[in-house]
């Protein structure tokens, strides 16, 4: 078993033996077993629709996560060989638009509201607290965090609101190019850890932003994705900056969580270093309202 990559929630290992390979995800910050059950159920439903994804294997006791001792939780998946999806590839954009539409159509009728991560962001006191911790720790990016709190937080946070009851679906919630591998049999959707309830409009908006270049928006790519989504029966449309509430909420929450982890004495030095790098990267890539406005103009009602 060898380490392959590290994500926000865990370490990925490649387990090989007897001519076969599997992906082992070691969860570094605990485990919500009910969430893993939702992940497995949605992944299996998506597979029935023809959406390729790695199989999540159950443990001997039937659950799709196991704690073999030492405080770690692990999940076991089929290993997938492939290259990260190229969002500039028209065929990949067409595939992704169709796939998101299939997910939204299959997940219609969700009743339970989305989680706080997608609906709310830290208040002023929480930002002040983490900024003080970062300053007290002497981290070099404290001033950069201060500017982010002064500028990006109020500019984006004003658009973060609870979703309306209608239009909720059960979906993937992390539809990024980094979570798609293209192998010899075509694209495969990975990383279903966040599966749950979301506003279809808000997931569509976030995905269009991410897949069309983020702040360096490519309108042609955005339109192609949107066309593939609609032709496959997707119903979500962009109405304005409020459609991007999920994008803004997750961006702000991620910076806050990573900044908190970067100064947390209870985690390992490696985890603090990873969190600090993530925080700095995301501070510099905060969503731009100008790019959002261009997407609304190009794809909106």
Domain 83-299 has what CATH class?
alpha beta
**Domain 2-78 is in which class?**
alpha beta
Is 70 exceeded by the pLDDT of residue 125? yes
How confident is the model over 74-91, as a mean pLDDT? 95
* In the chain, % of residues over pLDDT 90: 88
Half-sphere exposure (Cβ direction) of 108: Cα atoms closer than 13 Å: 8
pLDDT of residue 70: 65
Within 10 Å of residue 226's Cβ, how many Cβ atoms? Answer: 24
* Range of weakest confidence among 37-46, 68-77, 194-203: 68-77
What does the alpha-carbon distance between residue 153 and residue 125 come to, in Å, rounded to a whole number?
12
Q: Which alpha helices (H) appear in the chain, and where do they start and end? A: 33-48, 90-106, 116-119, 124-136, 142-157, 200-211, 219-231, 245-262, 269-283, 289-299
pLDDT band at 6 (very low <50, low <70, confident <90, very high): confident
First and final C-alpha spacing in the chain: 51
To the nearest whole number, what is the mean pLDDT of the chain?
A: 94
Element at 126 (helix H, strand E): helix 124-136
Q: In angstroms, rounded to a whole number, what is the distance separating the alpha carbons of residues 157 and 72?
A: 35
The residue-averaged pLDDT of 260-268 equals: 95
The domain spans of the chain are: 2-78, 83-299
Q: Are 42 and 170 in contact (CB under 8 A)?
A: yes
Its pTM stands at 0.93
Q: Determine contact, residues 200/168, Cβ cutoff 8 Å.
A: yes
Least-confidence region, from 50-64, 88-102, 233-247, 249-263: 50-64
Which pLDDT score is estimated for 60?
Answer: 86
């Amino acid at each position: 078993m060898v380490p392959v990559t590290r994500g926000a929630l865990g370490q990925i290992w490649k387990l090989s033996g007897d001519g076969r390979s599997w992906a082992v995800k070691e969860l570094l910050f605990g485990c919500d077993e009910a969430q893993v059950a939702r992940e497995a159920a949605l992944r299996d439903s998506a597979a029935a629709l023809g959406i390729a994804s790695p199989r999540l294997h159950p443990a001997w006791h039937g659950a799709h996560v196991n704690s073999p001792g030492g405080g770690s939780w692990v999940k076991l998946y089929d290993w997938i060989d492939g290259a990260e999806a190229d969002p500039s590839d028209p065929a990949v954009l067409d595939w992704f638009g169709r796939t998101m539409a299939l997910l939204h159509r299959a997940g219609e009728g969700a009743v339970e509201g989305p989680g706080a991560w997608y609906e709310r962001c830290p208040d002023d006191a929480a930002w002040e607290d983490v900024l003080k911790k970062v300053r007290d720790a002497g981290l070099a990016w404290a001033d950069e965090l201060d500017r982010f709190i002064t500028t990006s937080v109020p500019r984006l946070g004003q658009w973060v609101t609870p979703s309306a009851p209608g239009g909720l679906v059960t979906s993937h919630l992390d539809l990024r190019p980094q979570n798609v591998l293209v192998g010899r049999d075509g694209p495969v959707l990975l990383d279903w850890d966040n599966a749950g309830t979301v506003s279809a409009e808000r997931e569509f908006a976030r995905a269009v932003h991410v897949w069309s270049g983020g702040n360096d928006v490519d309108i042609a790519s955005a339109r192609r994705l949107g066309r593939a989504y609609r032709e496959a029966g997707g119903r979500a449309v962009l109405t304005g900056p409020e459609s991007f509430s999920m994008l803004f909420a997750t961006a702000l929450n991620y910076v806050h969580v990573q900044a908190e982890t970067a100064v947390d004495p209870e985690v390992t030095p490696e985890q603090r270093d990873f969190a600090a790098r993530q925080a700095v990267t995301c501070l510099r890539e905060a969503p731009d309202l100008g790019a959002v406005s261009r997407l609304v103009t190009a794809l909106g009602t």
